[in-house]
Amino acid sequence: MKPTRLSRRNLLRASAGMAALPTFAEAAEPAGAMRGVNRRSAPSALKITDMRACTIAANYDYPIIRIDTNQGVYGLGEVRDAGVKGIALILKAHLLGKDPLQIDTVLSSIRPFAGQGRMGGGYSAVDMALHDIAGKVYGVPAWKLIGSKLRDRVRCYCDTTGHKDPKIYGQRMVERKKLGYTFFKMDLYTTTVAERPGAVHQNGAATEKGLKYLCEYIAAVRDAIGWDAPLGADHFGRLSVNDSIRYARAFEPYQLAWAEDFIDWRDWRGYKKISEATTTPILTGENIFGLEEGFLPLIENQAVDIIQPDPETSGALRETKRIGDYADMFGIPTVLHFAGSPVGCMASVHLACTLKNFMVMENHAVDMPWWSDLVLGAPKPIVEKGYITVPDKPGLGIELNESVIKEHLRYPGYFEPTPMYDDFIVSGFRRVGPWPHFDEDGKWCNCVTY
């Protein structure tokens, strides 16, 4: 059964098991001291009891998770777009019985299971859900758990798919501008000009001739949105360091906000060479998890001009705050990549409003008519004239719109039970207390063996 928000029944159920706990007596507290604190939960007795998921089929699949507790309070999170819910659900056994308010402790226990790219999505979804729970319990918006609100609105850039006709591409950008967007990004696949004779070298990179053709697209978009508007560009194909430098230099007259993902993010030395050879700002990061695991050498070596973590891969609120703050120490701004549902979007907004060096956040669902309808409680439309208002409601500040989500499920089932994930997928010996197994003398026992 789907837990309701702190219904009377849940309150009674929760309080039944807490006879020995202090009550939340209003008369005993100093005036104003408990204002904003949710008295209908007992933080010290809070435990994680379940994790379930469903997957929304949209422009990408959006795997949504829900972490339940013994007090009816629950948290929502999202695995990286185009990922799978199982990346989060395999962490369930490590969460059951734990106090969700011990956010750093819980996250440390699952950090060994976070990988790069989509494999960072499980950890990230759990981080979001924990901040949703903690915010609801303490009666504060999630951003307050990681920092201060430095801005009331978060600026968004709109991704825009390309077209072989530069004029039509320019027109698409005009439509974006009419929606109120003030920051733009264009996809500029090298393959767009592949059919033109002599435009693409056999190694897959544009020739000098091909680069001129690619620049025609940038010029058309510039004419559409204005030469003074920030414009990023992405999807050139995986290039060599030297070809990347050729591209970046060819783009210089157009003063791009950035050129994205020229080479693999692991090659920070290559990125440093590219960045130092051009005035076009160089950016990467959407497939990186963690500061120590990925961003650190790019930042410490100032190998890129801008980092772009995707909170659904990088570790969501808490870890991406660390990453952004660390980049700020080296004078590197943070852009947030984002292509998921409103759940991860609003989690990212909570993060974005706390980052000193925040520049802009992506919205990849500009053309999805029911995207904003997937949740309740957020402004509608969520992106208003290119900005999202930072919520002040407890937790992430949203609830799922069950009927709309059920219309767009990838698989049958809406937060069905997940007993198949009750057991550890690895490290089963970390159980606390006796467990049935062969001891070190080869005898079957229900005992503790380390």
Q: Which positions touch Mg ion (CB under 5 A)?
A: 234, 260
- Rounded to 10°, the helix 103-110/121-138 angle is 170
Task: For Mg ion, give the closer residue by CB, 61 or 159.
Answer: 159
Q: Are 184 and 176 in contact (CB under 8 A)?
A: yes
Rounded least distance, CB 143 to Mg ion, Å: 25
Strands 358-363 and 334-336: parallel
Please identify, using beta-carbon distances, which residue of 50 and 310 lies nearer to Mg ion.
310
**CB closer to Mg ion out of 61 and 234:** 234
CB of 245 to Mg ion, least distance (A): 19
Q: Which of these, 230, 216, 213, lies nearest to 170 by C-alpha position?
A: 216
Other beta carbons within 10 Å of 112:
11
Q: Under a CB-based contact definition with an 8 Å cutoff, are residues 284 and 310 in contact?
A: no
- Minimum distance of Mg ion from residue 162's CB (angstroms): 13
CB 362 to Mg ion: min, Å? 8
Give 61 or 260: the residue with its C-beta nearer to Mg ion. 260
Q: Which is nearer to Mg ion, 260 or 305 (CB)?
A: 260
In whole angstroms, give the CA distance from residue 399 to residue 397: 7
Q: How far is the CB of 80 from Mg ion (least distance, A)?
A: 13
C-beta of 217: minimal distance to Mg ion in Å? 17
- Closest contact distance (angstroms) between CB of 366 and Mg ion is 15
Contact 163, 192 (CB under 8 A): no
Helix (H, G, I), strand (E, B), or coil: what is residue 167? helix
CB-nearer residue toward Mg ion: 81 or 234: 234
Question: Which residue shows structure tokens 């308010």?
Answer: 101
The nearest distance, CB 260 to Mg ion, in angstroms, is 5
* Least Å from the CB of residue 286 to Mg ion: 5
Q: Which is nearer to Mg ion, 138 or 217 (CB)?
A: 217
Residue in the shown chain whose Cβ atom is closest to Mg ion:
234
Say if residues 159 and 366 touch (Cβ distance below 8 Å): yes
Q: 96: part of which helix (H) or strand (E)?
A: none
Nearer to Mg ion, 234 or 373 (CB): 234
**DSSP labels, 405-440:** HHHTBSSS-SS---GGGSS-SS-GGG-SS-EEEE-T
For residue 443 the two structure tokens come to 């005898």
- Which residues on neighbouring strands pair with residue 375, listed in sequence order? 400
Name the DSSP class of 262: -
Is residue 93 helix, strand or coil? helix
DSSP string, 378-406: S-SSSSBTTEEEPP-SSBTS-EE-HHHHH
Residue with Cβ nearer Mg ion (51 or 282)? 282
- Residue 68 or 234: the one with the smaller Cβ distance to Mg ion is 234
Instruction: Of 310, 380, 320, 371, give the one whose Cα is nearest residue 343.
Output: 371
Burial of 306 (0-12, 13-18, 19+ CB in 10 A): buried
